[in-house]
A = this chain, B = another copy of it.
């Protein structure tokens, strides 16, 4: 698996992944009816950098990194990761999360924060915990899950600077 920075043309292959995950509405706080154009803006243009994980089969996953807050908060970054169902169970999310922490350090960030992790996304929560992230906040009923109703969301955080 190679993780490399995404190019503009990669979005054609990122979009089906982004669209499937965003429209499901179970894990990401994007509009469920997000358009391709807005998806490109959200995933490719607004972040500081976007990466893809590539295998022989093609793109296995993607992530972005951006500054979470400006000014006095700008030493903390935020990342989002997407792995399509077809490439789950292969360690893609782990590889991308570890890669992103390295990139974050190279970019000078001191910590990484996930702002809005649906508490029902148990696999992700466990994985981030295994990779050193802590649940530092719980937002009661802040995530409207399409099947489970209003569920709590977590804020997760890891200090990166050694």
Contacts and interface: CB of A to CB of B under 8 A. Distances in A.
Interface string A24-49: 01101111101000000000000000
B140 A73 contact: no
A34 B72 CA distance: 12
Contact of A142 (B25, B29, B70, B76): B76
Interface in A126-145: 136-145
Interface residues of A, number: 39
Contact of A29 (B72, B116, B146, B159): B72
Interface-central residue, A138, A139, A146, by most chain B CB under 10 Å: A139
User: What are the 5 A-B residue pairs with the smallest beta carbon separation, nearest first?
Assistant: A137-B137, A29-B69, A29-B73, A137-B155, A72-B144
23 contacts: A28-B71, A29-B73, A30-B70, A31-B70, A31-B74, A32-B72, A69-B115, A69-B116, A72-B145, A72-B146, A73-B144, A74-B144, A75-B150, A76-B142, A111-B140, A111-B141, A111-B142, A113-B139, A137-B139, A140-B157, A140-B159, A141-B159, A142-B157
